[in-house]
Structure 1
Amino acid sequence: MISVLIPIFNYNTTPLVASIHQQLEMLPFNFEIICICDASTEFLSENESIKSYAHTQLISLKDNIGRSKIRNLLVEKSNYNWLLFLDADVFPKSKLFIKKYLDLIENRHSEVYCGGLIYKQEKPKSEKILRWVYGKKREEISVKRRKERPFQFVTGANILIHKSVFNSLRFNEEIVNYGYEDVVFIEDLKLNLIEVNHIYNPVFHLGIENNLVFLKKTKEGLENLYLLNSKNILKGENLKLLRTFRVLKILKLTWFVVLFFNIFEKLLEYNLLSSKPYLLLFDIYKIGFFCTVYNAKRE
């Protein structure tokens, strides 16, 4: 009935698989758990124990194929019609996490369900505080608010989708660099008028990167966002950053934003890497970097 699909890259996913497997075994439904390790170099021995669970397989790739291709490959390997995508660094809040999804499958009011993402209440160490603050403020969204903007607050870290819907769209394999492949997929859902049903069935996001890594990945993602947008792969109507950029472009103010960013980049980073980062400054940093990428590509 259900295939749980987990892409892995340099993360110990055994606790997640153990929890999900225990929940699945208590229910009278056919299931499988498929994990694909995308050429990881870390936690290899820890993840080997995944193979010991019934109806569970771990596939290890020699070459890294990227975040889009690995999700498509997971579906190709699956045997059941309902697909539950979970990121490797999450953990279900409830011991009834799987049961809640299976109840929805039996009733089948929708083809796509998003359970949501939450973060632990306790603050991490200061070197990881930026990612935690961002997650608490920008990703931990109430069901009510998610329902108001159903295509803006979808997370691929915890999503249940019928295979027929997935196969009609699939992840765009033109996307080989880091970032926004899930946003493209969600935008395709919207363009194809496929409803996303938001529910409260969250997972904790546990893989909190340190501030420097998060900032680096943010910039890599923004470079990819520019590429996807310039190729018209991603229109980004649900992305505030792109909407802001378009206004600046119309007003011919991108040069000013770039000038501001060049002057204040280090000061912005000083705050973002501190123990008290402000998300408003993070937003300014991102639009400044994005405009810098735009100007550089034009030259």
Structure 2
Amino acid sequence: MSSSRADIHDNIGWADARPVVSVLIPFLRDDPEPLLRQLDTEAAALAGRVELVLLDDGTGDAALTARLKAVIDALALPARLVTLSDNEGRARGRNRLTIAARGHAWLFLDSDMKPDDPRFLQIWVDLAGRDNPAVAFGGFSLKQAPRDRRFAVHRALSGASECVRAAQRARTPEKYVYTSNLLVRRDVFGFESFDPGFTGWGWEDVEWAMRVSRRFAVVHIDNPATHMGLDTVTDLARKFDQGAANFARVVALHPQIVQTYPSYKAARALKRLPALPMARRLMKDAALSPLLPTRVRAFALRMYRAAVYADAI
């Protein structure tokens, strides 16, 4: 664990709570207030079975911290806010969240998600009590996502590769595991935590699932939440650049699994191109071009990602 200082703020319901499920919400420069208020609408029906644990991973915004403390104090759900002085990263931050969690099961939920079902938390609590799964993923949707034209390419990408029903996800269960809507039983995390060797953006949750799936069953259900934080093409390209080293790490750790993925096959094929740097620039330019149809731009961006990964493997 890093030397980052942590300020801890609990609301009045925290001390005496005996939760079944702990909802773990990391954020960095995002505002989780809308998510908190929506989750709190279920408080009466949950009857103390859920707590919220938030981690500000080094945003450094005193005004945001003060406002969130006031929001948390007004919640009916028991809640804790942990505010770090420095950024620890996605893997370390999520590992730190689990230290404060007291439930039998933990629901990792990103701060830019918006549950689609008004009984979202109740469905998770019922599943934890009834089936006690080791790992369960609830799924993504775009049901409530913004329809701004600048996010059209991300909508197309996400709709094709991430927003799939449980039956399809279950065919390759370790591949469709994201910490944006993920239930994990406490004892499972005792065997496998997130690898702090992953830094920057992406792949730390999929790699964790690869390890976990060797010991435990990974279950998929349809209890989706909308990913509200869609990105522009420029932002997505930057994230793909940042994620290249993480992809290479996954390939090194789990070659037999990753070699079956289309992203790996595409990267290997592109690696043989003698003019890969030029091709990568052309792919990015095509993805950025507002003159091209959205489906063409989305394909170009997928190819750009594969070209970036090709340099890393």
How high is the TM-score relative to the length of structure 1? Answer: 0.87
Structure 1 segment 20-35 matched on structure 2, within 5 A: 20-35=39-54
Structure 1 segment 5-24 matched on structure 2, within 5 A: 5-24=24-43
* Partner secondary structure for residue 54 of structure 2: strand
Percent identity for Structure 1 against Structure 2: 22
1:254 aligns with 2:275: no
* Partner secondary structure for residue 26 of structure 1: helix
1:272 aligns with 2:287: yes
Matched AA of 1:239: Y
2:199 to 160, 172, 176: 176
* Partner secondary structure for residue 176 of structure 1: coil
How far apart in 2 are the matches of 1:237 and 1:191? 17
CA 1:109–1:293 in structure 2 vs 1: closer, same or farther (change >3 Å)?
A: closer
1:199 to 200, 221, 224: 221
1:151–1:238: 8 Å Cα contact kept in structure 2?
A: no
How far apart in 2 are the matches of 1:88 and 1:14? 9
The corresponding residue for 1:66 is 89
The corresponding residue for 2:310 is 291
How far apart in 1 are the matches of 2:277 and 2:128? 52
1:123–1:129: 8 Å Cα contact kept in structure 2?
A: no
CA 1:153–1:122 in structure 2 vs 1: closer, same or farther (change >3 Å)?
A: closer
1:48 aligns with 2:48: no
Deviations 1:213-239 (A, max 9, x none): 111011111232124434x36762553
How far apart in 1 are the matches of 2:112 and 2:52? 15
1:117–1:155: 8 Å Cα contact kept in structure 2?
A: no
Matched AA of 1:28: A
How far apart in 1 are the matches of 2:181 and 2:80? 20
Deviates more, 1:182-191 or 1:218-227: 218-227
Deviations 1:213-270 (A, max 9, x none): 111011111232124434x367625532224445x4xxxx7242x51x3233333223
Matched AA of 2:223: N
1:57 aligns with 2:86: no
The corresponding residue for 1:263 is 278
1:126 aligns with 2:149: yes
Unmatched segments (≥5 aa) in structure 1? 295-299
Matched AA of 1:19: Q
* Partner secondary structure for residue 258 of structure 2: coil
Count of residue pairs the alignment pairs up: 285
CA 1:137–1:34 in structure 2 vs 1: closer, same or farther (change >3 Å)?
A: same
How high is the TM-score relative to the length of structure 2? Answer: 0.83
CA 1:224–1:109 in structure 2 vs 1: closer, same or farther (change >3 Å)?
A: closer
1:6–1:87: 8 Å Cα contact kept in structure 2?
A: yes
1:116–1:140: 8 Å Cα contact kept in structure 2?
A: yes
Deviations 1:118-143 (A, max 9, x none): 01377633322222221111110012
2:89–2:199: 8 Å Cα contact kept in structure 1?
A: yes
How far apart in 1 are the matches of 2:79 and 2:38? 13
* Partner secondary structure for residue 30 of structure 2: coil
2:137–2:220: 8 Å Cα contact kept in structure 1?
A: yes
Structural RMSD (CA)? 2.2
* Partner secondary structure for residue 58 of structure 1: strand
The corresponding residue for 1:297 is none
The corresponding residue for 1:102 is 125
1:83–1:160: 8 Å Cα contact kept in structure 2?
A: yes
Unmatched segments (≥5 aa) in structure 2? 1-19
Deviates more, 1:175-184 or 1:211-220: 175-184
How far apart in 2 are the matches of 1:213 and 1:70? 22
CA 1:120–1:272 in structure 2 vs 1: closer, same or farther (change >3 Å)?
A: farther
CA 1:255–1:143 in structure 2 vs 1: closer, same or farther (change >3 Å)?
A: closer
Deviations 1:79-101 (A, max 9, x none): 11111110010010011111111
* Partner secondary structure for residue 41 of structure 2: helix
Q: CA deviation at 1:162?
A: 0.7
